[in-house]
């Protein structure tokens, strides 16, 4: 069974890909290029398949998905779109329930901003 964090990150990545009109394959290639010094077409194809599974598999580590999201957010098309990443950093002061609520508020605000800009 996957974590809520994994599911939310997967949904966020898929949503951004849709808004940018990017395919999973395109982002996979960008992530591969960011992580590797040399391009190897066979390795890229393998990574594309692995990446696609990462976006649907409930056992994907949230840290991996966060890395994908950060790489995506650094791309020119993302930055030009006016989208922002909903980022809430845990304070350690609030309860876990409140921390999750703050994170949800960040996601909601991002959705409002995105809708307002017609993205």
Confidence of residue 86 (pLDDT cuts 50, 70, 90): low
Is the pLDDT higher at 2 or at 7? 7
Predicted confidence (pLDDT) at residue 110 exceeds the cutoff of 70: no
Number of structural domains found in the chain = 1
Question: Which pTM does this prediction carry?
Answer: 0.73
Q: How sure is the predictor about 87, in pLDDT bands with cuts at 50, 70 and 90?
A: low
Residue 23 scores a pLDDT above 80: yes
**Residues 6 or more apart in contact with residue 39 via CB below 8 angstroms:** 32, 33
Supply the DSSP symbol for 3: -
For 47-73, the pLDDT digits (tens) are: 999 999 999 999 999 999 999 999 999
Q: What local confidence, expressed as pLDDT, does residue 58 receive?
A: 94
Task: Answer yes or no: are the C-beta atoms of 20 and 78 closer than 8 Å.
Answer: yes
Whole-number Å distance between alpha carbons of 75 and 55: 19
Q: Which domain holds residue 94?
A: 4-116
Q: How far apart are CA 42 and CA 17, in angstroms?
A: 24
- The three-state DSSP-derived secondary structure of 35-94 is HCCCCCHHHHHHHHHHHHHHCCCCCCCHHHHHHHHHHHHCCHHHHHHCCCCCCCCCCCCC
Q: What mean pLDDT comes out for the span 86-114?
A: 75
**Res 107 pLDDT > 80:** no
């Amino acid at each position: 069974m996957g974590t809520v964090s994994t599911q939310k990150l997967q949904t966020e990545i898929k949503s951004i890909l849709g808004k940018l009109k990017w395919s999973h394959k395109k982002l996979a290639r960008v992530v591969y290029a960011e992580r590797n010094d040399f391009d190897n077409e066979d390795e890229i194809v393998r990574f594309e398949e692995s990446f696609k599974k990462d976006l649907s598999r409930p056992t994907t580590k949230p840290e991996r998905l966060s890395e994908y999201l950060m790489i995506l957010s650094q791309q020119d098309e993302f930055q030009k779109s006016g989208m922002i990443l909903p980022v809430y950093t845990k304070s350690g002061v609030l309860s876990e329930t409140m921390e999750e609520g703050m994170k949800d508020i960040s996601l909601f605000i991002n959705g409002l901003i995105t809708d307002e800009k017609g993205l």
